[in-house]
Amino acid sequence: MDAGCPRLPDTVLFEIFLYLDHADVLSVGLVCQQWRAVARDEFLWKELFYRYYRVSRDVPRHPGAVSWYDEFQRLYDTIPCVEVQALKEHNDQVLHLSFSHSGCLFASCSKDCTVKIWSNELDISLQHSSNMRPYNWSYTQFSQFNSDDSLLLVSGVFVGPHNSSSGEIAVISMENFTLLSRVRNKPYDVFGCWLNETNLISGNLHRIGRITSCSVLWLNNAFQGIESENVNVVKRLFKIQNLNASTIRTVMVADCSRYDSPDLLLDYEEQLAASSTCPVFDLGSDSEEEEAKPKLPPEPSVQELPDAGGVPAEHGLQQLFDDIMEGRVRPAMTETELETKVAELFVRNRTKPPEPNLLPTDSNSKTKYLIFTTGCLTYSPHQIGIKRILPHQMTTAGPVLGEERRSDEFFDSLDHVIDIHGHIIGMGLSPDHRYLYVNSRAWPRDCVISDPMQPPPIAEEIDLHVFDLKTMKEVKRALRAHRAYTPNEECFFIFLDVSRDFVASGAEDRHGYIWDRHYNICLAKLQHDNVVNSVAFSPVEQELLLTASDDTTIKVWRSPRAVRIRQARRPRPRKLLFSWLMNQKS
C-alpha cells in the first residue's frame, strides 16, 4: 500500500471512480496501489463502462476488445477530439474534404472556387491550389481520389442564375496537378464518383414535362483529351425515369467483393420495431411485387385504374384519355396528377426489368452497386436507389448509347429502393463497403404529400440510419445528437465519414460529432464558429479527423494518445536551452 493512500472498501472506491473525470481515473491509478489491484477487476470495469457511457446492458463488448479495461481506455484515449491545428488558407466557406487512400494527401473544396491539395505530415501543409474560376465555375463542392491516388475528381457548380442546376466534373493529375478532362454534370448535386481507376460516373437530366424527367448516368474515361478518336471515351450507363419532380443525386459506388470480410459486424441488436424502421422494398422479384410495393398515401381525387395485367401501355393511355373525355374520372384530375399518371402508363412497358438476385452470393464477385438518392413523391430526396453494375458495364468500350437493349426499352428500372421517409442530407460508406450510413431529417409521421412541389416540413433533429448492404436491411437504431435548421428549399448536403470503429458527421449547430459504431453512442462534439459541412477520417489512422466549416477553416483533430506520441517525438527546447546554458558556464 502506498503511504497516504487510505484503505477503502472496494464498493466505496468503485462508486468514487464512477464520478471521476477520465484524467482523474488515470492519476488515481498512478499513485494508489489499491487502485492497481482493483484496476484489473473485469466486473468493476464492466459496470463503470456501462454506467459512465450510458450503454444499454444488452450491448456486448466490442468484438476486438480484450477486456473491459482496454475498452474503457479505447473510448477515452483514441477519440480524435483534441484540436491540434487550424488551416485558414481558404477565404470562403469550406464545403468538402477527402483523403487519398494512402492517407498522405487530402483535398478541400470551397465557395472560394478553389480545390486545395494538402500534405498530411507531422504538421499539415498546403501543397497545391487550383482556381476553377477560369472555367466559369461558381464554386467547388466535392472531390474524390481514384483507387491508386493518381487522379483527383473535382465536382463544381457553374456560374448562372440562382435556380441553375448545371455543374461540371474536372479530373486533375496528382503527378503534376494538370487538368486532364472536364465532364458536364447535371444536376450539380449528382457530385460524381469513380467507378474504377480510370472511369468516372456523371449525370445528365432531361425534362419531359413540368414534374417529369429522366436522369441519364454516364460512364466517362478520365483521359478524354488524350485517347484516340477511335476509342470510346463515354458510354451511357443507365437511363431512369423521374416522377413528381424528383431527380437522381449524390451517386456513389459500393464494392460487393468486400462484404464477407467486414471490419466490424453490426448485428447484435434486436430487430427494430416496425414503427421505427425504414421500410425496404426489393424490386427484383415479380412474385413479391405486391407485398414489397410501398404503401403510398391514398389519392381520393383520382380514380384507381384497373391493373393492366400485361395490357400494352398504349391501350392504358387510350383508356385513360377516353375516361377523362367521357367524364368517368371523378373528381377531375389536376394537371400534376394527370402528368404523373400519363408518365407511369407510358413507362410501364418501356422499362428494362430489374436484375434478379440482387444480393451477392459469391464472395469473389466483381459486382458493384451504384447507390444514389432519388424519390417518387416530391422533389426532396427521400429514397435511396440501388442499381447493380455488372463487370461488362465497367468500361467505356462497347456500344456507346446502349444499343444492346431492345428498341422498346427506353428506361432502366431500379434493383432496390430504400424509403427513408424524410429529406436525405448525407450518405457515407463504411471502409469495407458493407454498411451505408445515411443522414436524414424526418417528415412528420403519417404525413400525406398531395403536391410534389410542397414537401412536408422536416425535423431539426438529424437521424443517422445504418443499412447493411449485404442483407439490404436497416441495422441498429438511428443515431441522434446533431441538428439542422434550414427548410426544405434551402436544405444542403452535410457530409459524413466512417472509419473502422467510428462515424462522424457535420451539423448546422456549429459542431462536428463522433459516434462509436459498435455501441451507438455519441463520444465527442467538435466546435466551430459556423456550420460544419464535412468531416473526414484518415483512412490509415482513425485517430486523425478533419472538419470543414462555413467559418472558412479546416480543423485538425487528433486523439489524446496521438497527441502524447507526437509530443514525445518533438525535441524539447527547454532541455536543450538548459544544456546550452550549462555548457556556457563551464
List the chain pLDDT tens, one digit each, 586 residues. 444 444 444 444 455 455 555 445 555 544 455 555 555 678 888 888 888 888 988 889 988 888 888 898 899 899 999 999 999 999 999 999 999 999 999 999 999 999 999 999 888 999 999 999 999 999 999 999 999 999 999 999 998 766 677 999 999 999 999 999 999 999 999 999 999 999 999 999 999 888 899 999 999 999 876 554 556 688 999 999 999 999 999 999 999 887 766 777 776 543 333 334 444 433 333 333 333 333 333 332 323 333 434 445 555 545 555 555 555 555 556 767 666 666 666 666 667 777 666 555 554 467 899 999 999 999 999 999 999 998 888 887 765 544 445 544 578 999 999 999 999 999 999 999 999 999 999 999 999 998 999 999 999 999 999 999 988 999 877 888 888 888 777 778 999 999 999 999 999 999 999 999 999 999 999 999 999 999 999 999 999 999 999 999 999 999 999 999 988 876 655 555 555 555 655 5
In a domain, 566, yes or no: no
User: Do residues 354 and 283 make contact, with C-beta atoms less than 8 angstroms apart?
Assistant: yes
pLDDT at 402 (0 to 100)? 47
pLDDT at 535 (0 to 100)? 98
In a domain, 66, yes or no: yes
pLDDT at 47 (0 to 100)? 85
Three cell numbers written together for 60: 456486448
Distance CA 506, CA 516 (A): 15
Distance CA 397, CA 235 (A): 8
In a domain, 54, yes or no: yes
> Is residue 344 left, alpha or beta, with left meaning phi > 0 and alpha meaning psi from -120 to 50?
alpha
pLDDT at 355 (0 to 100)? 65
- β-strand pairing of 351-352 with 411-412: parallel
In a domain, 42, yes or no: yes
User: Do residues 30 and 24 make contact, with C-beta atoms less than 8 angstroms apart?
Assistant: no
Q: How many CB atoms lie within 10 A of CB 324?
A: 14
Sort 325 into a burial class: Cβ within 10 Å, 0-12 / 13-18 / 19+.
exposed
pLDDT at 37 (0 to 100)? 57
Q: Where are the beta strands (DSSP E) in 132-226?
A: 137-145, 151-158, 167-173, 179-185, 193-194, 199-207, 213-221
pTM of the model: 0.81
Task: Give the bridge partners for 558, in sequence order.
Answer: 82, 544
What CATH code is carried by the domain that includes residue 15?
A: 1.20.1280
In a domain, 30, yes or no: yes
Amino acid identity, position 147 = S
Distance CA 157, CA 33 (A): 63
What domain count does the chain have?
A: 1
pLDDT at 48 (0 to 100)? 85
Beginning with the edge strand found earlier in the chain, give each strand of the sheet holding 125-131 in spatial order.
94-99, 105-110, 114-119, 125-131
Residue 37: give the domain boundaries: 10-78
Q: How many CB atoms lie within 10 A of CB 91?
A: 11
Write the secondary structure of 101-138 as one string of H (helix), E (strand) and C (coil). Answer: CCCCEEEEEECCCEEEEEECCCCCEEEEEEECHHHCEE
pLDDT at 150 (0 to 100)? 97
Sort 50 into a burial class: Cβ within 10 Å, 0-12 / 13-18 / 19+.
middle
In a domain, 544, yes or no: no
In the numeric block, the cell 442546376 is attached to 165
Distance CA 300, CA 526 (A): 49
Exposure string (b/e) for 221-249, b if CB count within 10 Å is 16 or more? Answer: bbbbeeeeeeeebbbbbbbbbbbbbbbbb
pLDDT at 496 (0 to 100)? 96
Distance CA 562, CA 268 (A): 30
Contacts of 135 (CB under 8 A, 6+ apart): 168, 170, 182
Amino acid identity, position 269 = E
Sort 20 into a burial class: Cβ within 10 Å, 0-12 / 13-18 / 19+.
middle
Nearest to 67 by CA among 45, 98, 83, 95: 45
In the numeric block, the cell 411485387 is attached to 289
In a domain, 469, yes or no: no
Three cell numbers written together for 144: 474524390
In a domain, 146, yes or no: no
